[in-house]
Structure 1
Amino acid sequence: MPHRTYYDQLKIDNDVKIRNILSELPPFCVRYIMGIEQNTSSRTRLAYVYDLRVFFHYLNENHKEFLDIPISEQTVSLLDKITPSDIQLFIEFCKYYSSASDKERVNGERGIMRKLSAVKSMYNYFYRMEIITNNPAAIVMMPKLRSKEIVRLDSEEVTELLDEVESGDHLTKAQKSFHSKTKVRDLAILTLLLGTGIRVSECVGIDLMDVDFKNHGIRIRRKGGNEVVIYFGDEVESALKEYHEERMLIIASAGNEDAFFLSLQKKRIGVRSVELLVKKYAKLVTQLKNITPHKLRSTYGTTLYKETGDIYLVADVLGHKDVNTTKKHYAAIDEERRKYARDKVILRNTKQHPDADTASDSGS
């Protein structure tokens, strides 16, 4: 069997999930997913089929043209019977609904935007291929996203967080029983996230051969599949080296031999596990901030921007394809800098020299 990388296996897993969900969708959706395969990641396609499943189940239960037709028998021509108003009603439905398992679902602006993006993408494909004559989704405007405040740790909180990982003093009794086994690994992960700003998905995908201690670099795969080398400083190096020594003594389970970060089950650590360990330690530092791996990424980006003032450097290091994405996230810092600048230029010195009056009197 040929060697599979973490990303190869992730694509296979996603493709299997896509195939299973497609079996619940109208047959023409298979053509659509195949048609966008070259220009999208498996993760994007998986998100699309999840959202299209919600869309077609909604139509099947609420639209007169779809009511009496099983989803497996629906034809692409039915898409021409959908109006922009129908899609607007679907958006309203998505704000709150119950799934097939009777689980309540609530979507905010971003959740609704993702679902509308899936519908728009499908309509654009069939309209561009001249398979349908109408594109009602093109008329429906995307919801306007309100800018969110950047949640990040300040320098004191970063220090306290790493100290908590090292000591484990404030963990519960149950958590302390695992702490001695995971402390070195957890410190390496948190130090890496805080010291490089990489995404949690990039972190868990690191293999042993990706870490180059000689040149202080790690090879990671960005969104879209591009491989890049990110560089780390002395603090990250120290934490990674300590864990690397421990890792080399662990015999990983079959299929996980290449993984750099391992779980207690000796398998490649997963995204969810990293999210939980970040939450566990962060709660010891701050109860008011909901700290996730992405917030550690924001912490790094904020610190780098404050230190360099170079938004293009921050965008490049964080792997943002569009610098406007970076500008949007760190606009608040620019606002702080502008406020700081307001009192730095003095046009007229209104404060008289202490000897001014004396000099004036002596000259009269």
Structure 2
Amino acid sequence: MQNRIGNDEKYYNEQDKINTIKMREVLDTLPRFCRQFFRGIEPTTSARTRLGYAYDIRTFFEYLHNVNPVLKKKEIVDYSLDILDMIEREDIEEYLEYLSLYEKKDKEITNAEQGKKRKMSALRCMYSYFYKAELISRNTAELVKMPKLHENEIIRLEPDEVATLLDQVEAGEKLTKSQLKYHEKTKLRDVALLTLLLGTGIRVSECVGIDIDDIDFNTNGLRVHRKGGYNTTVYFPDEVRDALLNYLEERKLKIAEEGSEKAFFLSLQNKRITVRAVENLVKKYSRNVTTLKKITPHKLRSTYGTNLYRESGDIYLVADVLGHKDVNTTRKHYAAQDDENRRRAARIVKLRETPGEK
């Protein structure tokens, strides 16, 4: 489908524009040599990735500015490229320790292993770029070990919890009086949205970006814009189709706000629903199903991936459907199911018939 200018522009193009504007604002706070780095990685990264790197690299230079007496005398934007050669491995290791807990604008900020790893990835990428370009003499960031991530148990809904969740969304059970006021207005939308997430495993960002003409009810196909910037088609079962069609009849009666005319899922304000709104509605409904699990849209994605792997035993199929470029990413998340598959294999293969079997 062709991209059009104005209100019909695709959601992900609009988001890229927003991220590009934010990126320019962050660049104005970084050393000037950083502009060359971000231009250099532009062909291989998304606007969202570059913005994340920019925020993380700014944190690093703010740290240096705060702790180093010499650098404190200079504005961060005036730092020259040779500062990267001056930084020692110990400086970066101390930076990682600082990330565990620090204050910014009277706000306490913490980083666990995942946050530290992300910030180190940004730093490594910048060092690697300038080192390969032979603009610095050493790649100090490469000498620092990446924070080790501890494997966390996959949190997902069990089949009976999935059924209970969808039943409660339809019935509005256990909602507060204030929540029930809006339930009739959002019930069909919420059922369609949760059924879609649970029935396809798409990301929440992919879900909110769906336009009406992205759905083909003849083939049960859904066009989504994947993380990484490419489009693909995922297919949904008839149960998802029914939920989407039920909501579509209601959606046709709504007059969307300017800029959201093509959006499939609308908020109560008739604007394209946001990622935060989906996160909130998942939280609202799921806490009435389980109090022991913190369910997010990503956990619904994990629920789908686990169920697909449990039924198919095909890790490559799961990786393809979930949009993982590297099957090892999928294997890492769903390896716990391998033991169950191996046990099932042991029950399937029989060497001799037992008495009474033919």
- Same fold at TM > 0.5: yes
**C-alpha distance in 2 between matches for 1:49 and 1:33:** 8
Query: What's 1:182 paired with?
Result: 186
CA contact (8 A) 1:65 1:78 kept: no
Deviations 1:136-181 (A, max 9, x none): 0011111121111111101100000001100012100111011011
Query: What's 1:67 paired with?
Result: 72
Query: What's 2:288 paired with?
Result: 284
CA contact (8 A) 1:200 1:274 kept: yes
Query: What's 1:30 paired with?
Result: 35
Secondary structure, counterpart of 1:104 in structure 2: strand
Question: Which deviates more from structure 2 when the two are superposed, residues 195-204 or residues 32-41?
Answer: 32-41
CA 1:160 to 1:68, structure 2 compared with 1: closer, same or farther past 3 Å? same
1:326 maps to which of 321, 330, 344: 330
**C-alpha distance in 1 between matches for 2:69 and 2:342:** 56
Greater relative contact order, per chain length (Cα 8 Å cut-off, separation 6+): 2
Deviations 1:189-212 (A, max 9, x none): 000000000000100010011010
CA contact (8 A) 1:96 1:107 kept: yes
Report the Cα offset of residue 337 of structure 1: 3.0
Query: What's 1:9 paired with?
Result: 14
The answer to whether structure 1 residue 146 and structure 2 residue 114 are counterparts is no
**C-alpha distance in 1 between matches for 2:130 and 2:307:** 45
Give TM-score scaled by structure 1 length: 0.92
CA contact (8 A) 2:37 2:129 kept: yes
CA contact (8 A) 2:313 2:341 kept: no
2:318 maps to which of 314, 320, 336: 314
Secondary structure, counterpart of 1:27 in structure 2: coil
**C-alpha distance in 2 between matches for 1:93 and 1:200:** 32
CA 1:342 to 1:216, structure 2 compared with 1: closer, same or farther past 3 Å? closer
CA 1:309 to 1:14, structure 2 compared with 1: closer, same or farther past 3 Å? same
Deviations 1:214-268 (A, max 9, x none): 1111100111111111111110000000111111111110111111111111111
2:214 maps to which of 210, 216, 238: 210
Percent identity (aligned): 55
**C-alpha distance in 1 between matches for 2:211 and 2:231:** 13
Report the Cα offset of residue 66 of structure 1: 1.7
Query: What's 2:111 paired with?
Result: 107
| Mapping 1:101-250, distance limit 5 Å | 101-250=105-254
Query: What's 1:362 paired with?
Result: none
CA 1:172 to 1:19, structure 2 compared with 1: closer, same or farther past 3 Å? same
**C-alpha distance in 1 between matches for 2:165 and 2:334:** 23
Report the Cα offset of residue 342 of structure 1: 6.1
Q: Choose 1 or 2 for highest CA Rg.
A: 1
**C-alpha distance in 2 between matches for 1:234 and 1:113:** 41
Report the Cα offset of residue 279 of structure 1: 0.6
Report the Cα offset of residue 63 of structure 1: 2.6
The answer to whether structure 1 residue 84 and structure 2 residue 109 are counterparts is no
The answer to whether structure 1 residue 265 and structure 2 residue 269 are counterparts is yes
Report the Cα offset of residue 26 of structure 1: 1.1
Report the Cα offset of residue 347 of structure 1: 9.0
**C-alpha distance in 1 between matches for 2:14 and 2:97:** 37
**C-alpha distance in 2 between matches for 1:242 and 1:344:** 41
CA 1:218 to 1:342, structure 2 compared with 1: closer, same or farther past 3 Å? closer
Report the Cα offset of residue 317 of structure 1: 0.5
Report the Cα offset of residue 31 of structure 1: 1.6
Unaligned runs of 5+ in 1: 354-364
Report the Cα offset of residue 341 of structure 1: 5.5
Report the Cα offset of residue 30 of structure 1: 1.5
1:276 maps to amino acid: N
**C-alpha distance in 2 between matches for 1:215 and 1:345:** 37
Aligned residues: 350
2:13 maps to amino acid: D
Give TM-score scaled by structure 2 length: 0.94
CA contact (8 A) 2:265 2:272 kept: yes
CA contact (8 A) 1:194 1:299 kept: yes
2:270 maps to amino acid: K
Report the Cα offset of residue 69 of structure 1: 1.4
Report the Cα offset of residue 77 of structure 1: 1.2
Query: What's 1:43 paired with?
Result: 48
1:52 maps to amino acid: I
Unaligned runs of 5+ in 2: none
Please tell me the root mean square deviation across aligned C-alpha atoms, in Å. Answer: 1.8
1:310 maps to amino acid: D
Secondary structure, counterpart of 1:229 in structure 2: strand
**C-alpha distance in 1 between matches for 2:215 and 2:352:** 57
